[in-house]
Structure 1
């Protein structure tokens, strides 16, 4: 019984790994002529105070690219406050009497914030899903709960949604998805020659949840007179273990070559066009490690670390990639979350981020983040 409870808790934590991911536990449910439907979402406020940089993006998430490096650190902006409610969302989910599920969901982060953005729009039946939802090359089981909507660098896979056709049987799922690529130096001639193909295995046993996935894709360019392409791949493993009813440890490891856009928050292209016209892939790796402490009475403490590193030396030597491009991103965070009543969460988080560019210049920044979220 205890192991079953722990397994259920881990699966629930995976579904809500980021504080911004609303659970449907508080959804408004109703039944109409055999259609089991729910309306769900939340209203959210995020506020940030950037201590020694102006490093906030929409939803007040940490923008690592805004960290000044080298001599520019001496001229860094300090003491910036901001708040917004762009993370707020609403969704509708319904299942027909025949077992066909439909889900449409949006939030207000579109256009930099304040306009409706489509998050999910898909249908599924008998293991077949078609539409836009979380990439199959994604897992949340190894994520540490953060108040930052974009969370830590180095998490498992794409950590976002993409149009796809997916088939799931048991713990195994495979998909063909819209590729998420960029090729430095290709400009408008960049192209994807095939869908991104993925396979993921995700399961749990007792107090352990785990996931592993692979992705393969083709990327390149075609100007009409000159063209080239290359294959890229990515892989990750992720896991979470409950040491007790109070303590969980979780982590992720990732490696990519020609798929840096799937190395979460690395911020660089997947490949570049060399002076001889060849497409050269960019490799990288990343990971995260964290712990969660359930203090009871709706209170918890979470600590985590994440990082990514890419190899840009050849691209810089070829004169295609700037030496001021980020090569290493890392961050640590700690937060306190409190649920005073059902469907209400409040919290505060300290974040420390670091950025190093290819030429060796580096910089860091500290900030505070506050969150209040009201689920329905």
Structure 2
């Protein structure tokens, strides 16, 4: 595996950094300590150069004790950072946080297993009845990352780099390759780099033990340029230019508005995107609505709806059919997606979530898909999750989740999924 040297240097710097000290001081305090230590050393050298009869040995010993005290204080001058769990190096105003987790999953399929992914892949679930399941184990979703925050005269400058080991490498292959998840800088409302799509509703996406989660929502991390204007008394507005779908020549454009309330949150999202096949192009639209509602102090209801005209990457609406070329025209699957979830925190050690994902093709493109890809287009998908996380000790999470679903094609053929996912996660920072 070949890695960029700069990335390796940054990773090593983050992982090899020492933990923060117990109390904070400013960079100026550290400089004062260094100057004090320098002066003490010089004065001690002068004392040693004098005659013993002129300066008692006890005096030099006292100076040595003083120097040791300042040296200990200097070591503690590594300061706590401005972001939780972060630290600042001596002489630096930049806060650095190193984080991540080691994670292991065991997945038991009770029915046929979809190809190409250890985790749920209902869009390619084998058709027909089958009890020929299998058991898979992987630790490839373990991840690490670091983020920084630097104060400036008009706000903070933030950066983030995060990676895991679950890079896609083709159907039925070992994904054990380093994959970049996030890499961006953020300053004065501007974000430039790779992170979650502005069209994705991360606030109202139910937590699942399964790495992929339910279909029916957006799950994409494109490179993008995003501007955010936040007026707390009004709403938060975001506008983004995002990396286009495969083959397209023009970027995707996204506009979004979010509003938070005491009882929860709502959001609305719009996007326009180009889909291009063999030189033929067509532009589609996307609409997203999301809501979170606090039923009680510990229980939250989440819902999001997505309407998408085609999805060449299969990520702006998980479960939508890919665009196809028919009669010299690009045909876009006008699909609807709905995700519902209820989460509850039972105690400091136990939390759980039940969720459901639905996808339905709006137009019957059965004949089109039969001619293009053999009639395997999906007309309906539904997938449910019921999971728990238990925290036996600090920084350790044990997850268990039962997952089921059904895929129905335009021809009426069905494929059922039923699986159990067990997980152990060990977090740092």
Same structural fold, with TM-score higher than 0.5 when normalized by the shorter chain: yes
**What corresponds to 2:108 in structure 1?**
49
Query: 1:232–1:257: 8 Å Cα contact kept in structure 2?
Result: yes
**What corresponds to 1:237 in structure 2?**
289
Higher Cα radius of gyration? 2
**What corresponds to 2:178 in structure 1?**
116
Query: Aligned partners of 1:103, 1:217: CA distance in 2, in Å?
Result: 27
Among candidates 122, 127, 138, match of residue 84 of structure 1: 138
Query: 2:125–2:416: 8 Å Cα contact kept in structure 1?
Result: yes
Give the TM-score taking structure 2 as reference length.
Answer: 0.72
Query: 2:113–2:126: 8 Å Cα contact kept in structure 1?
Result: no
Structure 2, gaps ≥5 residues long: 1-81, 231-235
| Aligned ranges 1:173-322 → 2 under 5 Å | 173-181=238-246, 191-221=247-277, 227-259=279-311, 261-269=314-322, 271-275=323-327, 277-311=328-362, 313-314=364-365, 316-317=367-368, 319-322=371-374
Query: Aligned partners of 1:203, 1:175: CA distance in 2, in Å?
Result: 18
Query: 2:220–2:315: 8 Å Cα contact kept in structure 1?
Result: no
Larger proportion of strand: 1
Aligned-pair Cα RMSD in Å: 2.2
Among candidates 205, 225, 228, match of residue 168 of structure 1: 228
**What corresponds to 1:107 in structure 2?**
164
Distance 1:66 1:218, change over 3 A: closer
**What corresponds to 1:63 in structure 2?**
121
Q: Any idea what the Cα deviations from partners look like across 1:79-112, whole Å, max 9, x if unmatched?
A: 4111111110111111224322111110000135
Higher-RCO chain (CA-CA 8 Å, sequence separation at least 6):
1
* 230-239 or 258-267, larger mean C-alpha shift: 258-267
Give the TM-score taking structure 1 as reference length.
Answer: 0.82
Query: 2:245–2:275: 8 Å Cα contact kept in structure 1?
Result: no
Query: 1:144–1:290: 8 Å Cα contact kept in structure 2?
Result: yes
SS at match of 2:372: coil
Pair 1:360-2:412 in alignment? yes
Distance 1:97 1:292, change over 3 A: closer
Distance 1:63 1:305, change over 3 A: same
Query: 1:37–1:95: 8 Å Cα contact kept in structure 2?
Result: yes
Among candidates 393, 402, 418, match of residue 350 of structure 1: 402
Q: Give the number of aligned pairs.
A: 330
Distance 1:314 1:56, change over 3 A: closer
